[in-house]
Amino acid sequence: MMNKKLTETRLKEMSDLELIRRAKQFCRKYEVRDGADFELKKAVTKPPKDFSKEDLPLVKEALEQGKSALSKLQEVLYAQDKWSLLVIFQAMDAAGKDSSIKHVLSGINPQGCQVTSFKAPNSEELDHDFLWRCNKALPERGRIGIFNRSYYEEVLVVRIHPEFLEKQKLPQSLITEHIWEERLEDIRHYEKYLNRNGTKVLKIFLNVSKEVQKKRFIERIEEKEKNWKFNSGDIEERKHWEEYMSAYQEAIRATSTLDSPWYVIPADNKSYARIAVASAIIKALDEMKLKLPKLSNSEQEKLQDYKKILLEEK
């Protein structure tokens, strides 16, 4: 979507088609459609080396232009009323999920978008299968649904903390050494099912480094306006960093497909990450080949009749 040769003026003059083309090109390097050989340790957490603070005005303008293109695509999605898009955000704490959702989707019509955040499951949710609560929150046709965390928590945090699995009251015979492989297989099939029924699934992993996470935690402690964000449990979770990285790698390997790709986006710089997130969503919508509904000849004639009635009003 952006490079050193671009200027703010050039971005403003760019057509929607050109913006979409550049967005697709920009996010492709972070896309995982076949996870067989994916290694998380090789995925970058920082922007390219030539990205600097001097680029921030350009980044801001690029994000605004991207949001504009995204808004127009979402309008067609809503009008066509055939497809829906589910965007899943997963990340370690302080990677910037909330701020990415806020900044990237701020230009979208609220009528066509819904955001669902998943916390620890309640008693009703624990009495159902692990996909149940997310299935209830799927976006309707014509809408974009955002999951801030998702059913992937069932192969991440639940895997790291076996006590959470015990609370799910599964028959003991089903809790075997293969349970995580089986859940990943279920997720892969579930996302295939959703695609076959008109819900495209896009998964975003905001890849923050352990060092930057530490820096952001300290900021939450030192800056009073950020104190409310700090959770002491986050410090305990840092002790499981390598386990989480291994679980994320396995999840991405097992569930990356052509129809439901993962985007492993460098998240040490939030501004850069937002551009990549917007680009990935634009790419997903563009791949739907969306078109505004076309009226038949008889419907067009009726419109002219209605127009005549309105013009003849006294």
For residue 64, what pLDDT is reported? 82
Segment 60-97, tens digit of pLDDT: 777 888 888 899 999 999 999 999 999 999 999 999 99
Q: Does the structure show a pLDDT above 60 at 106?
A: yes
Task: Name residue, tokens 């700090």.
Answer: 230
Query: Which pLDDT value is given to residue 68?
Result: 86
**Mean pLDDT confidence for 35-43:** 95
DSSP symbols for 67-95: HHHHHHHHHHHHHH-S-EEEEEEEESTTS
Each residue's pLDDT tens digit, 2-17: 454 555 555 555 677 8
The answer to whether residue 20 scores a pLDDT higher than 90 is no
- Which pLDDT value is given to residue 12? 57
**pLDDT top residue among 15 and 188:** 188
Of 149, 95, 89, the C-alpha closest to 121 is 149
- Mean pLDDT, to the nearest integer, of 298-314? 91
pLDDT over 90 (residue 50): no
How high does pLDDT run on average in the chain?
Answer: 91
Could you tell me if 54 and 169 are in contact, meaning their C-beta atoms sit under 8 angstroms apart? no
Identify the pLDDT of residue 53: 62
Contact 89, 151 (CB under 8 A): no
Q: Judging by DSSP bridges, how do beta strands 84-91 and 31-32 pair with one another?
A: unpaired
Q: What is the chain's Cα-based Rg? A: 22
Q: In the prediction, which pLDDT does 13 show?
A: 56
- What pLDDT does residue 254 have? 98
Residue 63: the pLDDT is 80
Cβ proximity of 194 and 138 under 8 Å: yes
Degrees, nearest 5: CA angle 102-104-105? 70
Predicted pLDDT at 100? 94
Q: What is the pLDDT of residues 135-183, one digit of tens each?
A: 999 999 999 999 999 999 999 999 999 999 999 999 999 999 999 999 9
Q: Is the pLDDT of residue 290 over 70?
A: yes
Q: Which CATH class is domain 32-52+79-273?
A: alpha beta
**272 pLDDT higher than 70:** yes
What are 217-234's pLDDT values in tens digits? 999 999 999 999 998 988
Alpha helices in the chain (DSSP H): 8-13, 16-27, 56-80, 97-104, 123-126, 132-136, 157-160, 162-166, 179-196, 210-222, 232-238, 241-255, 270-286, 297-311
Q: Which two tokens stand for residue 31?
A: 């896309």
Range in 125-129, 182-186, 291-295 with the lowest mean pLDDT:
291-295
Residue 224 exposure: Cα atoms within 13 Å on the Cβ side: 0
Q: What is the pTM (predicted TM-score) of this model? A: 0.91
